[in-house]
Structure 1
Amino acid sequence: MNYNKKTVRDVDVGGKRILLRCDFNVPLDKATGAITSDKRITAALPTIQYLLENGAAVIACSHMGKPKGERKMELSLAPVAKRLGELLGREVMFAADTVGPDAKAKAEALKPGEVLLLENTRFEPGETKNDPELAKELASMAELYVSDAFGSVHRAHASTVGVAEFLPAVSGFLVARELEVMGKALDDPKRPFVAVLGGAKVSDKINVIGNLLTKADTVIIGGGMAYTFIKAQGGSIGTSLLEEDKQALALETLAAAQEKGVKLLLPVDTLAAKGFSADAQPVAMDVAAIPEDMMGLDIGPKTVELFCGALKGAGTVVWNGPMGVFEFDAFAGGTRAMARAIAESGAVSIVGGGDSAAAVEQMGYADRITHISTGGGASLEFLEGRELPGVACLQDR
């Protein structure tokens, strides 16, 4: 896949109406409807400010939640328009529909230096079906399409892919940064290249592991999915997370790593407990000798030493997924240790996935990480080496 795509800097935006796809899928307080984190809004500011400073009129659009083609007003983008206006220090107009009369009239009247936010794209039944009619209607309001929602580029929807059939399409700064940093890490990494993978299921990450075995020097596997590998090798894992039907795949992966000369590291010890709860008492033990009535919930101290040691001297580190049940403080130590080690490694570091990013930010290491990816599913598909439809549709440089 070609990651070298045109950005807003490569085209003349002056005097043009720009359809800007953002990721404004922000968390809302269920009781009050208030935005609980505006990080995704602030992430869009550099692109919006650049467009405004260069004489463009910005028509922003985004999805929020999964209204499934219905107008669910608890998922309206109205609160986002208000917050975006506060952050920009200027009025952000809001359209009560996505491609209806209100959106069309406000888009037509929009002047350079002004911003309009359309209502939730997923209120339209055709959005997730990449309906060409909806894409055409969206595109009719603008002269250029800018993609800046990396979290949605793995989905072929009308507002992420369809509009590029009707308008010249380039990337905003957020998408450009993801392509530049993650593309280089995968295609031309500074070596040694260490990939750290965690999370619950082998099935979620098996394609990522397969792709990284062709690129990385060391692959570290932690989190719940590690127990399937341990069990496949004949270990006792008690009631730990297990994907019974993925054991053969785990053994094939271990064989593939050996064949390719890639070092694949698994936990050697674990913090286990008798139940899955925040107040469960952790006990350190051999990862392959967990009693029948206990489950592994985090990597143990010897594994922390092993995994962190493997990061020393790394040139590039990619991390996706926690090492344990990060939500429970007693079992967050492995994930925290990994965050610290990556921050202190001096490597080109890329962190993707909600829990990994949260660990890095909570511990105050965010400014020491080269790049924290904004897209969960998109980051995973990127690491799998899959073509991202919302990137493929952008103009090549």
Structure 2
Amino acid sequence: MPAFKTLDDLTDIAGKRVLVRVDLNVPVSDGKVSDTTRIERVAPTIKELSDKGAKVILLAHFGRPKGEPVADQSLSLIAPSVEEVLDHKVAFASDCIGAPAADAIAGMENGDILLLENTRFHKGEEKNEAGFVAELAKSGDIFVNDAFSAAHRAHASTEGLAHHMPAYAGRTMQAELEALEKGLGKPVRPVVAIVGGAKVSTKIDLLSNLVKKVDALVIGGGMANTFLAAKGINVGKSLCEHDLAETAKQIMANAEAAGCAIVLPVDGVVAREFKAGAANETVAIDAIPADAMVLDVGQKSIEAINEWISKAETLVWNGPLGAFEIAPFDTATVAAAKHAAERTRAGKLVSVAGGGDTVSALNHAGVADDFSYVSTAGGAFLEWMEGKELPGVAVLIAEK
């Protein structure tokens, strides 16, 4: 793993202005934050810097304002929740650059925490414009990036600032990078990956990269239907991208060449309608009725998946195995998640999971806290799994 400077490398920071990029892009309902998970994730970094006497200046985006101020995407809506989670007064500046930011920072005492307004209220943020980066840089002496979830974007507040001042990984960023290194960087083998979700088309790069790195790739969800169809199996009315048959065949060929086992369902839970409690039955995968759709994998498939989890030393998971949002089609996802959690608790498995649906599925199964690491990053986690360089991470690598 490349060497990253972390907060352990920061000394004598009392009185220093530390610009901290955090992820405060949280869900809001009726004007109030409905889920504080992302705030809780960055709290340790903010508290540590504040406790050491730094002037902590928070940079973040919220929503997609497209370079213009939008009232309902102001971080002033988030500030009270940040204050509550931190149990510390958090001041707010009505802009992230210019006089509002400068005046607010000038009034800070050591240990104070200040939240600047949405960086995406300026077009220069997403364009990583040099002039905007320079304006942001006027506010700080040190840059700390604690927003892995935005690290796949080369924006002013995620990548640009690191070229203007000493740059460090915050505690959440550090934990994420260390977990990902254990997942695919230098994992203990055997490594098993579970990839589910609706469409192969959204995960071609991911699957192509994984077959070169893991010992077994379990494919579930609607994606599995595309692979089954490519093998000549009639999947009835199931969600299936028939036009990607050749792509699926190529991925399977590449897996075979790399010595990676592709694990597909051997049975499926089928129904004629997609709704909670729909009449359903379990059939062999080559006996799917023409008027039915596969909404979950069957018991024999669950046993096969759990057998692979039992063999694994490392598990990487992205995407559910079935339509987990609707009972009873959550059975396979819950069963596999609980088995992985049990092995993790027993110290027999390093389990790393991420992606929006994945986090929801693990929470639904009640085991998110039992995995070694669950990433709240969506796009950044996927791009890491795809083997792509993340600009916001690359810029933190310590010079040799």
TM-score category, normalised to shorter length: over 0.9
Post-superposition Cα deviations, 1:151-184, rounded to whole Å, max 9, x if no partner, equal: 1000111111111121221110111111111123
Code of the residue aligned with 1:172 in structure 2: it is G
CA contact (8 A) 2:334 2:361 kept: yes
Q: Give distance in 2, aligned partners of 1:33 and 1:61.
A: 21
2:50–2:112: 8 Å Cα contact kept in structure 1?
A: yes
Number of equivalent positions = 394
Range 197-206 or range 152-161, more displaced? 197-206
Q: Is the 8 A contact 1:22 1:147 kept in 2?
A: yes
For each residue in 1:80-133, what CA deviation from the matched residue of structure 2 results, as whole angstroms up to 9, or x when unmatched?
211111222221001112213212210222221000001111111221111221
Aligned-pair distance for 1:275? 2.2
- Determine the structure 1 residue equivalent to 2:356: 354
Distance 2:28 2:226 in 1: 36
Within the alignment, does 1:98 sit opposite 2:125 as a pair? no
Q: Contact conserved, 2:2 with 2:397, CA < 8 A, in 1?
A: no
Contact 1:98 1:124 in 2 (8 A): no
Task: Give the Cα separation in 1 of the matches to 2:47 and 2:302.
Answer: 43
Equivalent-residue separation in structure 2 for 1:236 and 1:17 (angstroms): 62
Task: Find the partner of 1:341 among 339, 347, 350.
Answer: 339
1:381 to 377, 380, 383: 383
SS in 2 for 1:141: coil
TM superposition shift of 1:230: 0.4
Query: Which string of whole-angstrom CA distances, capped at 9 and with x for unpartnered residues, describes residues 345-392 of structure 1?
Result: 230110111222223233332332111112111111111111000001
CA distance in 1, matches of 2:130, 2:159: 10
State how 1:199-210 maps to structure 2 within 5 Å.
199-210=197-208
Structure 1 range deviating more: 9-18 or 387-396: 9-18
Q: Is the 8 A contact 2:182 2:350 kept in 1?
A: no
Q: Which secondary structure state, in structure 2, belongs to the residue aligned with residue 259 of structure 1?
A: helix
**Counterpart residue number, 2:184:** 186
| Shift in Å, 1:288 | 3.2
Is contact 2:94–2:101 with CA below 8 Å preserved after alignment? yes
For residues 1-397 of structure 1, the aligned pairs below 5 Å read 3-12=2-11, 13-29=13-29, 32-345=30-343, 346-396=348-398
Name the CA distance, whole Å, in 1 between partners of 2:2 and 2:297: 36
Q: Given that residues 108 and 141 in structure 1 are in contact (C-alpha distance below 8 angstroms), is that contact kept between their aligned partners in structure 2?
A: no
User: Would the aligned equivalents of 2:359 and 2:376 in 1 still touch at CA under 8 Å?
Assistant: no
Amino acid at match of 1:256: N
Once the 2 structures are TM-superposed, how far is the Cα of residue 21 of structure 1 from its aligned partner?
0.4
Measured against aligned partners, the alpha-carbon deviations of 1:327-354 in whole angstroms (never above 9, x if no partner) come to: 1122111111121111122301101112
3-state SS in 2 of match to 1:237: coil
Checking the alignment, whether the CA contact within 8 Å between 1:271 and 1:331 is kept in structure 2 is yes
The alignment's C-alpha RMSD in Å is 1.5
Per the TM alignment, residue 189 of structure 1 is displaced from its structure 2 partner at its CA by: 0.9
> Helix, strand or coil for the counterpart of 1:304?
helix
In structure 2, list runs of 5 or more residues that go unmatched. none
Shift of 1:279: 4.2
Cα distance in 2 for residues equivalent to 1:240 and 1:163:
48
1: CA distance, partners of 2:256 / 2:338: 29
Residues 282 and 331 of structure 1 are in contact (CA less than 8 Å); yes or no, is this contact kept in structure 2? no
Partner SS state of residue 69, structure 1:
coil
Return the alpha-carbon distance in structure 2 between the equivalents of residues 69 and 215 of structure 1.
Answer: 39
Give secondary structure in 1 for the equivalent of 2:102: helix
Counting aligned pairs with the same residue, the percent is 44
Where in structure 1 are there 5+ consecutive unaligned residues?
none
The answer to which of 2-11 and 241-250 deviates more is 2-11
* Pair 1:79–1:3, CA change in 2 (3 A): farther
CA contact (8 A) 2:318 2:353 kept: yes
Q: Tell me whether 47-56 or 269-278 shows the greater mean CA deviation.
A: 269-278
Q: In 1, Cα distance between the equivalents of 2:339 and 2:98?
A: 51
Contact 1:313 1:347 (C-alpha < 8 Å) held by counterparts: no
AA at the equivalent of 1:364: G
Q: Secondary structure of 2:127's partner?
A: coil
Aligned-partner Cα distance in 2 for 1:292–1:285: 12
User: For residue 24 of structure 1, what is the amino acid of its counterpart?
Assistant: L
Q: SS of the counterpart of 2:244?
A: helix
Q: Distance in 1 between matches of 2:55 and 2:232?
A: 62
* Preserved contact between residue 92 and residue 114 of structure 1 (Cα < 8 Å): yes
Q: Which amino acid in structure 1 is aligned with residue 324 of structure 2?
A: F
